[in-house]
Structure 1
Amino acid sequence: MEPSTQPLRFGFLGGRECALLWRKASGDLVGVDLRPGDPIPSELTTVPPTIHPAGSFRRDVWDEAQGQWISCCDYTGVATYDKTSGALVRPLQLGEALPDSVTLQPPPRGTEGPFRWHDDDARWERVTADPDEPAADMQG
């Protein structure tokens, strides 16, 4: 445990007055019985993370070397779809930006595909075979 360099914030959490700290691993608020001058447990900080608006796909992660929260992309747990086929793609990792090749918009359901994402209109369009082109299985 290290001495706090930030002033402790006190408040009521769970019906009791306590020091308000944040878990570095998750950003969760916790209440701890501390007095001014008490050391802060190393897994906690007095610095609150930024609260990002819902749907911003941003999250703060603790950077121990800098001693601060860093905002990064967070598409973890969000379904993403390949724009050329409509197929689900691998889940994105924390900090990984949304690639240009994927969209968050699922392809239409209950309609026969295949589909392709149309960036200009921000919509899925059905892919139809060109009648002038020979079928792929007939090309040699």
Structure 2
Amino acid sequence: MIELQDIQSTSAYVDGGTSFEVEELMDQAHHLEGSAMAEKPLIRAYMIEPQNLGVLLQLYHLYLQQTRVTEALEVAKRMMAAIAPQIDFPENWEMLSRIEFSNGVMTSFRLVRLYLSALTSAGSLSIKAGQEALGRAMLSKVAEFDPDINFKKAI
């Protein structure tokens, strides 16, 4: 399973729909990559389009790069919340069943992969944040659908 930090772009996962203003803000943040100043345009973009997976992914990368575990974890959860309705997954990841998973794959295999990547990342970040039981539960849920997951890499 690919974790969010391994995904560089959501372009393969989404079909446009991003406003010009948000694209510009994301571009500004990209040019400021590695700088603390990159957060400001991303927050502005998030305020305009809070469900935008590209914005969320860039925020996730920024927070992970800055070792801001709590913020990165929150963004991973927001990604799951943004993706879930698009593939008819339940709001709560714990309630995800094999039937919903299969139906989600039929709707968008790519979004299901991104969802599982976000759940994997949320699990490993939860463990790093001291919420070991929650993190392990998240990783166990991923393992239900992807038995080949490398837990050592995820943790």
Q: Tell me if TM exceeds 0.5.
A: no
Between structures 1 and 2, the one with greater strand share:
1
After TM superposition, the score normalised by the length of structure 2 is: 0.18
Between structures 1 and 2, the one with greater helix share:
2
Structure having the higher Rg? 1
**Which one scores higher on RCO, CA 8 angstroms, separation ≥ 6?**
2
After TM superposition, the score normalised by the length of structure 1 is: 0.19
